[in-house]
């Protein structure tokens, strides 16, 4: 059965972020480990040649050569192209963050959480031991990088790409809301439904970091492309998908001052460490919605990546090194992992142009 249906960073910022990543050791590949997952019985992808779905293989070959690593292309519900080892689980770094917010949507769907504006303190009374502002942190704040956790600003008042807040988000969601390890939640609610074929873990070096193969990450992307439905079954309610994709951080929201305030004892991080780990990126306001990057939300003056349709959205790990692209206008999902693109915006833009070119060009031999 068919599987149905950023110049985003300045050169200075890219250099600064690359330095941070080297200092913290975050851009080194991790060997995802975790509890074994039974994926037996998962249906294999149905393949079609690129030409059968209107794609040009020569352009896709150029894309694979430029990007490196492991990747695949899905169009009209079919796997149509791959490179590298798409069965190998990879630590996708920050590209895992939309998956965490999808688990939040599942928690709402199961009435474990009232809504995204519910105060998190209802699930973690420890927040009452901190400054009073922390009692006002909601799930929306955590998923939008506006919680002010460990920083001086009140929730919702400043943008802070904060890996301590994200670790807290993951921990309270899995430990307090589900009472279950994240990989187990992901597999039972999504992975087994959409047919993950390979090992998957939310302990890729650290709890809360996702280890997943390119072909299984593509299935997660296809679930979103299909608005939360898989083979006629509603996995994630469409209204919750809409909420995730249409709630961008206000474009004029200021960036945090970076001045720190106490966190909970022994608070860990998902990657970035020290003061820098609470204030990693300037970009985000206007283009960040429940941990997804959005190309051109309504009301924004221009897309982040003009070569892609405005309805494109993506998950990004280590500044383009690990990417999940969802392109509704093209009915297409593209994944690349463990590539050599980290921080190289110009090469990323070239890769993006090749995705578009693959739809618009034919091989010379097929030209009339």
Q: pLDDT averaged over the chain?
A: 88
Please determine, for residue 127, whether its predicted confidence score (pLDDT) is greater than 70: yes
Q: Which helix (H) or strand (E) holds 315?
A: strand 313-317
pLDDT by residue (tens digit) across 96-108?
A: 999 999 999 999 9
Question: For residues 78 and 100, what is the distance between their CA atoms, to the nearest angstrom?
Answer: 26
Confidence at residue 343, expressed as pLDDT on a 0 to 100 scale: 81
Place of tokens 């209204």: 239
Rounded to 5 degrees, φ, ψ at 236 are: -125, 130
Outline where DSSP puts E strands in the chain.
70-75, 78-83, 90-91, 201-204, 206-212, 229-230, 233-234, 288-289, 292-294, 313-317, 322-327, 332-337
- Check if the beta carbon of residue 158 is closer than 8 Å to that of residue 256: yes
Mean pLDDT for 233-253 is 96
Q: Which residues pair with 293 in a beta bridge?
A: 288, 314
DSSP class of 198: S
Confidence at residue 206, expressed as pLDDT on a 0 to 100 scale: 92
**What percentage of the chain exceeds 90 in pLDDT?**
79
Confidence at residue 13, expressed as pLDDT on a 0 to 100 scale: 42
Please determine, for residue 166, whether its predicted confidence score (pLDDT) is greater than 90: yes
**What percentage of the chain exceeds 70 in pLDDT?**
86
Please determine, for residue 26, whether its predicted confidence score (pLDDT) is greater than 80: no
Alpha-carbon Rg for the chain in angstroms: 20
Confidence at residue 255, expressed as pLDDT on a 0 to 100 scale: 96
pLDDT-based confidence at 344, cuts 50/70/90? confident
Confidence at residue 42, expressed as pLDDT on a 0 to 100 scale: 55
Please determine, for residue 242, whether its predicted confidence score (pLDDT) is greater than 60: yes
pLDDT-based confidence at 280, cuts 50/70/90? confident
- The dihedral over CA atoms of 100, 88, 44, 311, expressed in degrees to the nearest 10, equals 50
Place of tokens 């593509």: 218
pLDDT-based confidence at 6, cuts 50/70/90? very low
Which of 51-84 are b and which e, b meaning 16 or more Cβ less than 10 Å from the residue's Cβ?
A: eebbbbebbbebbbebbebbbbbbbbbbbbbbbb
Mean pLDDT for 200-218 is 96
Question: For residues 335 and 364, what is the distance between their CA atoms, to the nearest angstrom?
Answer: 27
Mean pLDDT for 329-347 is 93
Please determine, for residue 47, whether its predicted confidence score (pLDDT) is greater than 60: yes
All domains in the chain, ordered by first residue: 11-366 (3.40.710.10)
Confidence at residue 32, expressed as pLDDT on a 0 to 100 scale: 53
Q: How far is CA 300 from CA 215, 219, 252, 304, 309, in A?
A: 32, 29, 11, 10, 14
Q: What is the pTM of this model?
A: 0.88
Choose the weakest-confidence range: 36-45, 107-116, 239-248: 36-45
Question: For residues 99 and 190, what is the distance between their CA atoms, to the nearest angstrom?
Answer: 10
Confidence at residue 3, expressed as pLDDT on a 0 to 100 scale: 46
User: Which comes out higher in pLDDT, residue 268 or 37?
Assistant: 268
Confidence at residue 77, expressed as pLDDT on a 0 to 100 scale: 97
Place of tokens 């221009």: 302
Confidence at residue 318, expressed as pLDDT on a 0 to 100 scale: 92
Comparing C-alpha atoms, which of 167, 220, 218, 190 is closest to residue 37? 190
């Amino acid at each position: 059965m068919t599987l149905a249906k950023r110049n985003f960073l300045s050169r200075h910022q890219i250099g600064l972020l690359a330095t941070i990543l080297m200092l913290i050791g975050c851009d080194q590949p991790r060997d995802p480990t975790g509890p074994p997952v039974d994926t037996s019985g998962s249906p294999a992808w149905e393949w079609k040649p690129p030409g059968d779905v209107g794609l040009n293989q020569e352009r896709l070959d150029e894309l694979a050569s430029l990007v490196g690593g492991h990747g695949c292309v899905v169009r009209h519900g079919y796997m149509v192209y791959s490179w590298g080892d798409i069965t190998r689980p990879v630590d996708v770094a920050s590209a895992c963050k939309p998956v965490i917010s999808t688990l939040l949507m599942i928690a709402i769907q199961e009435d474990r959480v009232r809504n995204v504006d519910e105060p998190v303190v209802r699930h973690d009374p420890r927040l009452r031991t901190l400054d009073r502002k922390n009692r006002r942190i909601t799930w929306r704040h955590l998923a939008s990088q506006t919680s002010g956790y460990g920083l001086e600003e009140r929730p919702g008042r400043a943008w802070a790409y904060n890996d301590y807040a994200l670790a807290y988000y993951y921990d309270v969601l899995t430990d307090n809301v589900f009472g279950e390890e994240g990989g187990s939640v992901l597999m039972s609610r999504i992975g087994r439904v959409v047919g993950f074929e390979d090992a998957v873990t939310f302990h890729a070096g650290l709890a809360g970091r996702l280890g997943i193969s390119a072909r299984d990450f593509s299935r997660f992307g296809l679930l979103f492309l299909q608005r939360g439905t898989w083979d006629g079954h509603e996995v994630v309610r469409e209204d919750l998908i809409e909420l995730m994709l249409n709630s961008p951080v206000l474009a004029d929201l200021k960036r945090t001052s970076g001045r720190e305030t106490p966190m909970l004892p022994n608070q860990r991080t998902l990657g970035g460490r020290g003061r820098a780990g609470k204030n990693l990126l300037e970009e985000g306001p206007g283009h960040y919605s429940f941990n997804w990057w959005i190309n051109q939300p309504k009301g924004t003056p221009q897309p982040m990546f003009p070569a892609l349709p405005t309805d494109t959205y993506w998950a990004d790990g280590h500044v383009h090194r690990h990417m999940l692209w969802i392109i509704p206008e093209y009915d297409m999902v593209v994944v690349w992992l463990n590539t050599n693109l980290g921080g190289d915006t110009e090469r990323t833009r070239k890769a993006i142009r090749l995705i578009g070119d693959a739809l618009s060009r034919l091989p010379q031999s097929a030209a009339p």
